[in-house]
Structure 1
């Protein structure tokens, strides 16, 4: 395959030759080979596919919310070519058998994937580390969906075990001891943000990083929602991620979102949101990941203390960031780095994350001049809703995983490829 007339994130115009699963050449003026399929990019933007290192595809246990088939279709339509699934399914991914069960279901994925192993009081590290685990985590330092919160001693043990097996650790950093219990007397949509305080995140990030330094191992802080948390990770020499919802939404949006805006960690003040955005822009934040957490409308349409936490986002993340770039608030190279190049580097995926010879042909073509309005009912996730209803996003013309088209959209409609995703820890 030869992709002609493409524009890369750094502005270069080039052709890209794909040979099998890999990129063979990235140059200007490549000659067409016999029997080679030619795709004219027509000057549009060619990016490495997004590596979403934080999704909850809910299978096994909750197929009414999401399956690997529906979640990966949503990913492909959003330009995501690799996803990393978290362990708080049912059963939780804390034993070898549970890991194997999830791996069987992941065979339905259109995109490549990683499977994280979880930590609970009865986890089986020897069984888990004998398997192709992507990372240990999301390790919960406070309860969230699945009630997998653990104490400080078990966290330290888990980090040491992971370091011994050269497995990364990702952390959900909130300290429940400094949650504000007085907020439980309220029933407005902002009560959840008042309850799970910004201080709770900053303290937990500092403690998680201290354990990492003591063990001599890096930790990656998941869905960092405050500038204090980002700074604590950065100052400790650790990495962190920010979600699109913490980047673009704040407590000011909760009057409109209601309980559909409940998440862990919660939305923060507009001032903190803006400060997090500054750190995304200047390079302090390493990764954008979605924490894609599909819940049904019926579940979310409840009281603030009863609704489950989380929002869907795997299909809209890259589109929203590209719209930010189109509006001049980010540049395309930063979007590329946050969504692909940096995740590949942080999590040791040498075949992913760049448009260059020798890398996997995980490619996304977008027309930055053609944004579309985001409508929840049109997204492929089973959730059928989005906190970004009515926002603009720049969505792919097509998405390719290791040289195979998994999504195409044109004037005749859209088409999806077949399931063929692979565990990236078996192929790196």
Structure 2
């Protein structure tokens, strides 16, 4: 039986910080104790390192099948593991769109062969696939994805009757992309009349505006309240939207939850001049006051989880003009280091990072035996050195697209080791391949 002993780690878990040993046996956390004296197959000296539960990213686009020139499940899961993300939930706007049970299972089969991280995949909703949506197994699929605003891939659900039926009948959590399509089209037409095809990227947050986000998010919240739907709104990008969410109810009892993404917590509209299309996301990065309000909502419990919306495109695609360049960018390798940088700036605690990037994701999605450092739970773990500065550059990027909006940045904290379902998958700068992650299961 394979065993890994982690010695003298500073464990960050469930709002506590303490030094302890931890024993992993057959993929599970066997024992957490101040002193464990057993002979293990492998021993990691973690003195001076911090042990956090592996991050669970509830929103990624790994581009397989159909768009593998941008990224694939193998390449992007490698980058995720190197960044301390041990589990991911991937979106259905691949090619073909994941709109049937058969297409969904094909993605699981690819991940079972090729993913270094644990995995789950969303079932996609469209205007006319409710019968397929209702076949989704709530025990081993993370949720249903509904695009209430168009983004990469044509999966917009814009038929009011179809939308109501999905909200009324969905057997499980619905995750929504919320931007009002009519508002976006009107704003875009306005700027096209003013500027023709030469619209600068700095106008992206004016086109995909606060109003577009709030109209759609508030509609989703109203519909969820009407039908008592389990609703999870993705990538909140405005201060105004944060007022839609509750921070009085315990997370386990919430029917409506929300997510913040790394780019909306880090960048602002002042960065478009330097970064251009490399920070073009949908919804758009907006004002510094929006960024600060989103962080405040994360800290006060209105926003429940932090994710990436990792969405790689090629350098060639992102180098096109504003109207031609797709939205999205790669983030999984740098999400945890970026949040640890905010910790160094005094903006968030280590305990809050563990809560928002692991504990709360497990609660929101009712994930079985993950998201915590607990005896009997799967050993999804990340060891970080909080004082080991490194520079993000092309030589250390693991994304298939080979670029990052963080290029040129220096992070003070470095991921040293990552365990996925008890297997050491990343250690001291090297990936250890050969063991695949596991399919996530859900206590529903």
Note if 1:327 corresponds to 2:357.
no
Quote the offset at 1:328 in angstroms: 1.9
| Cα deviation, residue 380, structure 1 | 0.9
* TM-superposed deviation, 1:396: 1.1
User: Given the two structures, how large is their TM-score scaled by the length of structure 2?
Assistant: 0.90
Distance in 2, matches of 1:27 and 1:347, equals 29
Match of 2:299 in 1: 281
TM-score by length of 1: 0.94
1:201 matched to which residue of 2?
A: 213
Mapped to 2, the partners of 1:11 and 1:141 lie a distance apart of 41
Q: Distance in 2 between matches of 1:130 and 1:316?
A: 32
Secondary structure of 2:383's partner? strand
Residue matched to 2:285: 267
For the aligned residue pairs, the C-alpha RMSD in angstroms reads 1.8
SS in 1 for 2:123: coil
Picking from 4, 19, 41, the partner of 2:25 is: 19
1:6 to 5, 9, 33: 9
Aligned counterpart, 1:240: 258
Give the C-alpha shift of residue 377 in structure 1: 4.6
Relative to structure 1, the CA distance from residue 80 to residue 42 in structure 2 (aligned partners, 3 Å threshold; closer, same or farther) is same
Indicate which of 36, 46, 51 corresponds to 2:51: 46
Rounded to whole Å, the distance in 2 between the matches of 1:35 and 1:265 is 48
CA 1:365–1:35: 2 relative to 1, 3 Å: closer
Q: Compare 392-401 and 298-307 and name the one that shifted more.
A: 392-401
- From 97, 106, 110, give the equivalent of 1:105: 110
Give the Cα separation in 2 of the matches to 1:233 and 1:377.
Answer: 41
Unaligned runs of 5+ in 1: none
User: Which residue does 1:147 correspond to in 2?
Assistant: 154
Distance 1:278 1:425 in 2: 31
Partner in structure 1 of residue 250 of structure 2: none
Instruction: Report the Cα offset of residue 282 of structure 1.
Output: 2.8
Q: 1:174 aligns with which of 169, 174, 179?
A: 179
Q: Is 1:403 paired with 2:419?
A: no
Task: Say whether the 8 Å CA contact 2:423–2:435 is kept in structure 1.
Answer: no
- The CA distance in 2 between the partners of 1:221 and 1:71, in whole Å, is 24
What secondary structure sits across from 2:403 in the alignment?
Answer: coil
Cα shift readout 1:25-52 (whole Å, capped 9, x = no counterpart)? 222122x224553221013100000000
| 2:232 maps to 1:227 | no
Q: Residues 258 and 303 of structure 2 are in contact (CA less than 8 Å); yes or no, is this contact kept in structure 1?
A: yes
Query: CA offsets, 1:354-396, max 9 Å, x none?
Result: 1111111000000001131222452111121111122233231
Instruction: Give 1:89 deviation, angstroms.
Output: 0.2
CA distance in 2, matches of 1:426, 1:281: 26
- Match among 391, 399, 412 for residue 381 of structure 1: 399
Q: Determine the C-alpha separation between the residues in 1 that align with 2:228 and 2:155.
A: 25
Point out the more displaced range, 93-102 or 242-251. 93-102
Deviates further, 280-289 or 350-359: 280-289
Task: Determine helix, strand or coil for the equivalent of 2:282.
Answer: coil
C-alpha separation between the residues in 2 aligned to 1:352 and 1:183?
A: 47
Structure 1 residues 128 and 404, CA, compared in 2 at 3 Å: closer, same or farther? farther
- Per-residue deviation, 1:256: 0.7
1:355 to 373, 386, 394: 373
The answer for unaligned runs of 5 or more in structure 2 is 248-253
In 2, Cα distance between equivalents of 1:115 and 1:427: 16
**Residues in 1 aligned to 2:264 and 2:302: alpha-carbon distance in whole angstroms:** 15
Whole-angstrom distance in 2 between the partners of 1:234 and 1:177? 28
Aligned twin of 1:192:
204
User: In the alignment, what sits opposite 2:437?
Assistant: 421
Q: 1:415 to 1:26 in 2, by over 3 A?
A: same
Farther-moved stretch of structure 1 (236-245 vs 397-406): 236-245
Number of matched pairs: 420
